């Protein structure tokens, strides 16, 4: 068996999320059908992160095994041929060691959340950015976000249906900035995230940006370990999985 690692970009608006579902198209299903199309082999494809419906990816990572061995370019190009009716593209493919695991070998995941607080609604970016009430004070949002960096119990900022055995996570980076385009970007990095963790945090930071919460209110909400202390969850369409890090020996 030969193990392949692929990097995938997709528009989440066209899928019910990463994971296979019985009644609608998922990213996992689209990719597995593409593998079957070019190789004739039925595979199970494993992703680095299970993105929800309408969440996008610029650098999702997945792996699968084939009996036959193909060149990396052949795998990439053949998958893209069979994916052409879907809003998904394989950016790169490579042969990796049999012990590589897209999910469990990952040492960090990077996410980006895009917000526009301009008064007119976006046209070309519709479905790809959160059109949020504003104007937002991004300096206050960034200052408040720093209380969430480090190792914490994130019970307040995870979905009620989250199945993770522990609410404790270590946030390596959480930064808020206004770009030259006027968009507000929230960047997050951690080894692993809880279900709806980033969207819950962004929704709470939005209240800080509006001045409805003071900067210390984020730290207070975190310390409460109470889901009821979380702000409204930000919509899915502003969220992007931008990349996944692995130990150098496994690249």
Q: Where are the beta strands (DSSP E) in 117-226?
A: 130-131, 150-153, 168-178, 184-190
Alpha-carbon distances of 205 from 99, 138, 166, 195, rounded to whole Å: 39, 9, 23, 17
**Beta strand segments in 27-102, E:** 46-47, 56-66, 88-96
Q: Convert 157-171 to b/e letters by CB count within 10 Å (16 or more is b).
A: bbbeebeeeebebeb
Positions annotated as catalytic residues are: 52
Helix 27-39, helix 72-82: angle, nearest 10: 120
CA-based nearest residue to 235, from 58, 115, 59 = 115
- Residue 40 half-sphere exposure toward CB, CA atoms < 13 A: 4
């Amino acid at each position: 068996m030969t193990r392949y690692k692929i990097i995938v970009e997709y528009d989440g608006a066209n899928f019910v999320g990463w994971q296979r579902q019985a009644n609608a198209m998922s990213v996992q299903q689209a990719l597995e059908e593409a593998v079957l199309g070019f190789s004739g082999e039925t595979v199970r494809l494993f992703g680095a992160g299970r993105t929800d419906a309408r969440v996008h990816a610029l650098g999702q990572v997945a792996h699968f095994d084939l009996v036959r061995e193909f060149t990396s370019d052949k795998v990439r190009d053949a998958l893209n041929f069979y994916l052409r009716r879907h809003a998904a593209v394989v950016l790169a493919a490579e042969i990796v060691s049999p012990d590589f695991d897209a999910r469990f070998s990952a040492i960090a995941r990077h996410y980006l959340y895009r917000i526009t607080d301009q008064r007119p609604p976006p046209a070309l970016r519709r479905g790809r950015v959160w059109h949020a009430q504003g104007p937002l004070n991004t300096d206050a949002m960034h200052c408040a976000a720093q209380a969430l960096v480090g190792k914490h119990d994130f019970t307040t900022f995870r979905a009620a249906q989250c199945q993770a055995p522990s609410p404790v996570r270590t946030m390596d980076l959480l930064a808020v900035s206004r770009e030259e385009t006027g968009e507000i970007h929230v960047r997050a990095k951690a080894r692993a995230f809880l279900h709806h963790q980033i969207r819950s945090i962004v929704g709470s930071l939005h209240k800080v940006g509006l001045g409805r919460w003071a900067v210390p209110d984020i730290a207070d909400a975190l310390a409460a370990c109470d889901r009821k202390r979380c702000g409204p969850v930000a919509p899915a369409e502003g969220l992007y999985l931008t990349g996944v890090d692995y130990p150098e020996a496994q690249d």
